[in-house]
Amino acid sequence: MVNSVAPYEATPEHIEVERVITASICHVREGIFAQMENIRAASLRNNAIHDIHAVLLHQSGWFLHWVEGPSQSVRGLLRHLAGDPRHHSPRTVHTSQGRRILPTPWSMMMSQTTEPAAHFGHRVVSLHEQFEQGTQHAPSSVLRRLSAPMQLAQAQGLPDIEAFHRVGICAAGGNEAFEMINWLAVQLGGTVARRRFAGEQDMDGSSNSVDFMDGPHPCRMIAVARNGLAHGLRRAFLPDWPHFVMLFCGTPRFDDALMARMAAACEGLPVTPTLLGIAPDDATHQRMQDMAHGAHLAYIAANTARPDDYHAIWLAVHEQLQRAGEPPSSVWEMPRLVA
């Protein structure tokens, strides 16, 4: 299924920006973390002057750079980046105009993968060729197709590789969201993928995910650290996640803080996920539902259970996925910009 209307078209209350995503081969062979820290420091100094928001990804010897801002500023930055000796052979894989998608000035992501550079490069070439032929996809879909494509063998023959259920999960008081990912991997035979995220200040968050089949449909569950909810790139992906599981512990100060973080993360998004609450008692469910309603978020009391009752959590998620039926695609067909 292809979205016929882009969810990020500019409206009178939004300033229109140009968006460009490029992929390039990284020249840096050692000390990539330090180099990315240097890039962040320079970008935070310079991008703010030109009203640019940006994301930098490093994976398998490649850089992926997503830039948004006024057209003149974006194109000037791209000309400057073309001469940076830390990379070469940039390929454009997305251009569009509309409202700003990236909510923060700077985000970074590093993927802990052993995938060869050639495999990543093959996906870059494929997307670049589609772009050259006049077809492209939403910025979030571009990043996912390159950095985290659905690779389950059962999903490879599907008409649309992007049509899979995406479910986020976060815990109020402990590490249960990440343990849930480990539990699912063991139960369903999946492999845990690990990524590190950074915002304007430091390398401050992590995210683990696991892919699995739920009946005939491919699915992905993504564990998010509590502080990761404020991360600009994470917030840019939230509209692609129809469901988000929230594991409450029954301690009001922890539970309320998590709901407040989610409300802040969803503020201003064109589409927000339905919140699936797991709580140890009805009183917690009621308080969380009231907070969600106040933030204009949909809340379902998915199950009454402890946040470490992974079987109960899975039953609740499985029930929601069954009700959801066919997973929607995040493909976003749109015309290319005229240079």
Q: Taking a C-beta distance cutoff of 8 angstroms, is the pair 301, 281 a contact?
A: no
Helix (H, G, I), strand (E, B) or coil at 105: coil
Q: What is the pLDDT of residue 337?
A: 53
Which residue in the block uniquely carries the two structure tokens 């830039």?
67
Q: What is the pLDDT of residue 201?
A: 64
Q: What is the pLDDT of residue 209?
A: 95
Q: What angle do CA 19, 21, 27 make, to 5 degrees?
A: 145
Q: How far apart are the first and last CA of the chain?
A: 29
Report how far residue 258's alpha carbon sits from residue 252's, in angstroms, rounded to the nearest whole number: 10
Summarize pLDDT for 161-178 with one digit per residue, the tens. Answer: 888 999 999 999 999 999
Q: What is the pLDDT of residue 288?
A: 98
Pairing status of strand 192-198 against strand 205-214: antiparallel
All structural domains of the chain: 16-147 (3.30.70.100), 153-324 (3.40.50.300)
Burial code (b: 16+ CB inside 10 Å, e: under 16) for 286-323 equals: ebbbebbeebebebbbbbbbbbbbbebbbebbeebbee
Helix (H, G, I), strand (E, B) or coil at 260: helix
Helix (H, G, I), strand (E, B) or coil at 279: strand
- The pTM is what? 0.90
Report the 10 Å Cβ neighbour count for 12. 4
Q: Taking a C-beta distance cutoff of 8 angstroms, is the pair 288, 259 a contact?
A: yes
Report how far residue 339's alpha carbon sits from residue 333's, in angstroms, rounded to the nearest whole number: 19
Helix (H, G, I), strand (E, B) or coil at 337: coil
Q: What is the pLDDT of residue 4?
A: 36
Q: What is the pLDDT of residue 1?
A: 34
**pLDDT averaged over 10-residue windows placed end to end, the chain, 339 residues:** 52 84 89 82 85 93 95 93 90 92 88 88 95 87 92 86 93 97 94 82 77 92 93 90 96 98 93 96 98 98 98 97 85 55
Which residue in the block uniquely carries the two structure tokens 């990804």?
57
Summarize pLDDT for 32-56 with one digit per residue, the tens. Answer: 878 888 888 888 888 888 999 999 9
- Quickly list H helices, the chain: 32-46, 71-82, 117-132, 139-147, 176-188, 232-237, 252-266, 282-294, 310-324
Pairing status of strand 274-279 against strand 87-99: unpaired
Pairing status of strand 243-247 against strand 87-99: unpaired
How many CA atoms lie within 13 Å of 157's alpha carbon, on the beta-carbon side? Answer: 3
